[in-house]
Structure 1
Amino acid sequence: MEDILRPIYQERASLKSTLGILLIEKREHKSPITDTFDYVLFVIVDDAEEPVFLKHYTYQDKKAALHVVKEEQVKEWILLGSNRKVVDWIYNGKILFDRNEYLEHLKTEIREFPFYGRKLKMGMEFSKLIRRYRDGKDFFENGHYLDAYNHIVHSLHHLARLEIIEQGFHPEVTVWNQVKHMEPEIYKLYEELISSEETLEKRLELLFLASEFLIYSRTNAGSQHLLEIMNAREGSWTIAELMEHPELSYYSIDLGVLLEYLIEKKVVDTIIVETKGHDVYHRFYKV
């Protein structure tokens, strides 16, 4: 099949905008990595009219997909973890074309996982974890057990990804296979939630109790990105200033609930300032 695809990727390689081309082959009969396709041609370019361009091909009983993606989109996916297949493609894909060793440098960057990128990703996962955990607990306390179950499953996924990132790795598509070896305690919680013979109510009750400590023990690591930004200047912050910060904007949707959690845990203080209204105060935040 690679011979059949050669004219396609050679045409792309001849373009000045092309930085690198990877070939990803389906590793298993049913694999989520290639979205059911037998082959994926992944082309990274520095200039294009649209951030992502796709084409599908078929040859006899085989399927192939061409992905042409702008460099800035690839870097955003890696930073935010919003397209985890791409990390796998870059890390494990076969290099067909590499202008000025662009792909080799990108592979090294993913493998070494710079600490700055880790802190930001941990902040994002921790804020999502707190949001899901809090919402799930509210549903549980109001007797909405299926909704609580949905949220606690998601919160465990964020907890697992947080652990993987803290240990210096990118979360893969098969995240539970990763965390099983890195942090068996989190894996065991997940396993008990989905396979225990206890009633759903009892399973959730036990899980919320067990999760509380695991989440609290990761508060320092998970909130480090936010706290360093808040400490980078003197004085306090308004919620608007925090949400408008270019780095915090990546998880601004969960920033409010994260701040409330950190206030409860006495990591962040609130400062009140009088307004023109009677007994109404502005609320500021400081580490």
Structure 2
Amino acid sequence: MEPTFFSFKSQEKSGHQALGAVGFRHPGSMFSGSLLHDFELLVLVVCEETDSSLIQIEHCLSGSLQYQMRYIGRNELLQWVVSGEHPDIVHCFLQGEVIWDVGGKVTELRKDLTRFGGGMRERRKLKEFAGFLRTYVEAKHYAHEQDFMDAYYCVLQSLKHYARIELIDEGIVPGDRVWEQTQSINTVVRKLFDELTDSKETLEQRVELVLLACEFSVMSRMEDCCSPLLRILGSRKEAWSIQELLELPELGYIREELPMMIRKLVYRSLVKQSAVISGDASVCGREIRYWA
């Protein structure tokens, strides 16, 4: 890839504290979704940190080349790998060509993300398990109400989270084409996916069968997948209130599912609870606190 069209965007001129850039070309005639759309090239400019007062996206023309330039922060990329957000941008960053690199920092960042190290892997697994648990519970609710179309949708989403967990176990960063990624490994979830989508049983039977398998997975995978949360719960002598846990920055990416997860962990006897007299005058009775 010729970087000459990009040379005018130096770190000093852009004002973004840029570390470098990665270019990702439109893959032939394939449809590339909303990120590339009809642009021939996407340029991801990686910055030390992003500033909302500066330009975040530019549509540019160099000769006959139309390209989109997006500015992303180094920490944003790390957060997205953990949270699962913007998998298309993460994919382009990992698979694109480095066209500008200040001191090798972009190359080193790609190596870090590709290695998908232990801490990052654990946090992503917790995030996917939270999504798996949420959609599984929703599917059970819809099935109980005899709403099997919505139950089917939720089970499908639950299996997608489960598939990402299995990819993470293999050291693979889950992308936006999860089912394509799982083809290369022999996974349980792939068989469940086929059972749900390509079986002669009725919709109700398929949903109920996969829900049973998901129930087993909840029981067998919970302790492993929730290990970062369990460590936090056991990190001090005092038990935690749910509000204290919700306010922890390191659990911000599972804040929505956290109350439900805590109750499930208590139900599975992985977390203990106790009741204390609350010091908050607005709280009636005793407050439940948690520890591991």
TM-score by length of 1: 0.89
Is residue 195 of structure 1 aligned with residue 198 of structure 2?
yes
Match of 1:184 in 2: 187
In the other structure, the counterpart of 1:88 is 91
Q: CA deviation at 1:47?
A: 5.2
Give ranges in structure 2 of 5+ residues lacking alignment. none
Q: Is the 8 A contact 1:22 1:96 kept in 2?
A: yes
Distance 1:141 1:164, change over 3 A: same
Taking structure 1 as reference, are residues 203 and 58 closer, same or farther at Cα in structure 2, changes over 3 Å only? farther
| More displaced stretch, 72-81 vs 226-235 | 72-81
Written as runs of structure 1 = structure 2, the 5 A alignment for 1:165-184 is 165-184=168-187
Asked if 1:10 is matched to 2:15, the reply is: no
| Counterparts of 1:101 and 1:59, CA distance in 2 | 26
Aligned-partner residue type, residue 202 of structure 2: T
Letter in 1 for 2:9: R
Per the alignment, residue 249 of structure 2 pairs with 246
Contact kept, 8 Å, 2:58 with 2:69, in 1: the verdict is: yes
Unaligned runs of 5+ in 1: none
Q: What amino acid sits opposite 2:192 in the alignment?
A: L
* Aligned counterparts of 1:83 and 1:24: Cα–Cα separation in 2: 15
User: SS in structure 2 opposite 1:44?
Assistant: strand
**Contact 1:126/1:222 (8 A) holds in 2:** yes
- In the alignment, the residues of structure 1 paired with residue 55 and residue 269 of structure 2 have an alpha-carbon distance, to the nearest angstrom, of 44
The CA distance in 2 between the partners of 1:225 and 1:193, in whole Å, is 31
Query: Is the deviation greater in 241-250 or in 188-197?
Result: 188-197
Q: Could you tell me which amino acid in structure 2 is paired with residue 88 of structure 1?
A: H
Note if 1:265 corresponds to 2:262: no
- Aligned letter for 1:285? Y
The answer to whether residue 156 in structure 2 is matched with residue 153 in structure 1 is yes
State the shift of 1:48 in Å.
4.9
8 A contact 1:163–1:183 mirrored in 2 = no
Q: Which residue, out of 76, 79, 84, partners 2:82? A: 79
Structure 2 residue 280 is the aligned partner of structure 1 residue 283: no
Task: Give the alignment's Cα RMSD to 1 decimal.
Answer: 2.5
- Are the structure 2 counterparts of residues 171 and 48 from structure 1 closer, same or farther at C-alpha, using a change threshold of 3 Å? closer
**Closer/same/farther in 2, CA of residues 199 and 62 from structure 1, 3 Å limit:** farther
- Aligned-partner Cα distance in 1 for 2:228–2:49: 31
Give the partner amino acid of 2:127. Answer: M
Task: Kindly provide the amino acid, as one letter, of the partner of residue 242 in structure 2.
Answer: I
Q: Deviations over 1:173-199 (max 9, x none)?
A: 211122233342101111221222322
Is 1:217 the counterpart of 2:226? The answer is no
User: Using the alignment, how far apart are the partners of 1:177 and 1:190 within structure 2?
Assistant: 12
Q: CA deviation at 1:58?
A: 6.1
Partners of 1:164 and 1:171 within 8 A in 2:
yes
Equivalent residue letter for 1:10: S
Partner of 2:67: 64
> Residue 166 of structure 2 contacts residue 187 of structure 2 at CA under 8 Å; is this kept in 1?
no
TM-score by length of 2: 0.87
SS at 1:68's partner residue?
strand
**What is the percent sequence identity of the aligned residues?**
24
1:159/1:215 contact within 8 Å kept: no
Distance 2:259 2:186 in 1: 29
Per the TM alignment, residue 63 of structure 1 is displaced from its structure 2 partner at its CA by: 4.5
Cα distance change of structure 1 residues 159 and 286 upon mapping to structure 2, 3 Å threshold: same
Question: CA 1:60–1:146 in structure 2 vs 1: closer, same or farther (change >3 Å)?
Answer: farther
- Give the conservation status (yes or no) of the 8 Å contact 1:54–1:67: yes
1:129 alignment partner in structure 2: 132
Counterpart for residue 35 of structure 1: 36
In the alignment, the residues of structure 2 paired with residue 53 and residue 65 of structure 1 have an alpha-carbon distance, to the nearest angstrom, of 11
Letter in 2 for 1:225: P
Offset from partner CA, 1:38-89 (integer Å, 9 cap, x none):
3111111235542772223468997522112233333322332211122222
The one-letter amino acid of 2:41's match is Y
- The answer to whether the Cα contact below 8 Å between 1:52 and 1:70 also exists between their aligned partners in 2 is no
Deviation at 1:157, TM superposition (A): 1.0
Does 1:98 pair with 2:101?
A: yes
- One-letter code aligned to 1:18: A
Mapped to 2, the partners of 1:52 and 1:228 lie a distance apart of 40
